[in-house]
Amino acid sequence: MRDFFIEIFGDFGRIIIFLHILSACLLIGSMFVLRFVIQPVEADILDNKVKFGSCLRMMKRYIVFLLPVMFIIVLTSVFMNLGIGFKSGNPTTYVMVNTKEALWTFIAFNFVYMYIKYWKAKKGFDEGNYIEVEENMVLMVKYLIPLNLILAIISVYFGVILRGY
């Protein structure tokens, strides 16, 4: 199985790295835009039903957007990890690869937690419980997304170090 990844990476290494970097850029850019561009505009809406309805629709679209992006990041990282052969290389480099994997695993679990919070907010919205909607949305937009943004930026920095620049 490992030979398969090595052969595929040997043939399509540039495309795999390009897709990995593009997906990371899309993920980080989308988190930045969501938190620092869209959220302040949403906060200015006075009618709670309109504000929370819009916010829930936006989060649903964001979650649908995240699924393929995260899948591409995971798939390309597996190809790069096995194709480049980090395990048999420098131990410090392999530790950094494992640290990047741990960061992205935490980011993925954080997104799963955000999805759970989204469904609780949606349920609260359907019941007219705007306090529950606001609590869940504030947690997602003001805390979980910035946390993922910081972790993703750290992971990108580690990726730059791994590339040797």
pLDDT 10s digits, 95-137: 888 899 899 999 999 999 999 999 999 999 999 999 999 999 9
Q: Which candidate, 28, 24, 38, places its Cα nearest to that of 141?
A: 38
Distance CA 91, CA 100 (A): 14
3 state SS of 47? coil
Give one DSSP letter per residue of 68-82, joined into a string: HHHHHHHHHHHHHHH
| Residues 84, 87, 92, 93, Cα dihedral to 10° | 20
CA terminus-to-terminus distance, the chain: 31
pLDDT tens digits, 5-46: 888 888 898 999 999 999 999 999 999 999 999 988 988 888
